[in-house]
């Protein structure tokens, strides 16, 4: 894909030719981790999940593993304690990288066992998740019986490289928008995983798309300085 966002009209070229318009909504999403661990892809939907708020209720009074070290991993592990009898939080870094309040809550939660400097090596099970195989910093391996594996490892990369230097991006390639989903270029909007928002849910991206759609309509009607309907 190639774009000319400052042109008038704006130009986007893809596999099926060129498109021209007064506005553009960037919704190219993100790429996942380059490679999962053995057993992960095969057991997706059979105990492997990437969303505790979506699937946590299926693990009532069961032992599960949550894998990751970020704020997201910590929050999802805490959410799982509403249902699971025990949560093994597998943290690949020497300490949890979540904000202090989350880390403190994790450390003192009776249902969470935090394992730092521990990496997920394999998700085990024939037709459903039965265990996870992990390795500590010395390389010593252990098999932990669990019925669910919730994986929140970092590696999601927003697909924004096709933009070049046309829009400001964070070091991770994330785009910034205002409250009406507009980027630094008037008439160019962005929604979904290219924003690197903390909560990755389809309903969130859909809501952002609806907001951007309204903003586009207003922009095309001549309201180039877009403002929300609330406030003074």
Whether residue 161 has a cis bond before it, omega within 30° of 0: no
* Geometric angle at alpha carbon 192, from 183 and 222, rounded to 5°: 40
Residue 54 annotated to the active site: yes
Instruction: Select which of 54, 136, 161, 178 is catalytic.
Output: 54
Residue 229 annotated to the active site: no
* Geometric angle at alpha carbon 31, from 196 and 81, rounded to 5°: 60
What burial letters (b/e) apply to 181-211, b meaning 16+ CB within 10 Å?
bbbeeebbbbbbbbbbeeebeeebbeebbeb
How many of the other CB atoms lie within 10 Å of CB of 9? 13
Residue 55 annotated to the active site: yes
Instruction: Select which of 55, 91, 193, 196 is catalytic.
Output: 55
Q: What are the beta bridge partners of residue 54?
A: none
Catalytic residues: 51, 54-55
């Amino acid at each position: 894909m190639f774009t000319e966002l400052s042109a008038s009209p704006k130009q986007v070229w893809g596999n099926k030719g060129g498109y021209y318009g007064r506005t553009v909504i960037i919704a190219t999403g993100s790429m996942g981790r380059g490679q999962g661990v053995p057993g992960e892809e095969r057991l997706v939907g059979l105990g492997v999940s990437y969303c505790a708020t979506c699937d946590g209720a299926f693990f009532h009074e069961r032992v599960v593993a949550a894998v990751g070290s970020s704020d997201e991993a910590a929050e999802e592990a805490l959410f799982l304690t509403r249902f699971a009898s025990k949560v093994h939080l597998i943290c690949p870094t020497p300490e949890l990288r979540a904000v202090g309040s989350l880390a403190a809550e994790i450390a003192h939660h009776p249902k969470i066992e935090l394992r730092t400097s521990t990496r997920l090596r394999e998700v085990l099970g024939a037709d459903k998740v039965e265990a996870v195989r992990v390795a500590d910093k010395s390389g010593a391996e252990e098999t932990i019986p669990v019925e669910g594996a919730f994986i929140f490892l970092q590696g999601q990369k927003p697909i924004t490289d096709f933009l070049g230097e046309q829009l400001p991006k964070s070091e991770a390639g994330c785009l910034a928008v205002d409250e009406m989903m507009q980027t630094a270029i008037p008439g160019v909007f962005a929604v979904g995983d290219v924003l690197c928002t903390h909560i990755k849910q389809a309903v969130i991206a859909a809501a952002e798309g609806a907001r951007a759609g309204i903003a586009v309509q207003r922009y095309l009607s001549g309201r180039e300085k877009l403002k929300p309907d609330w406030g003074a």
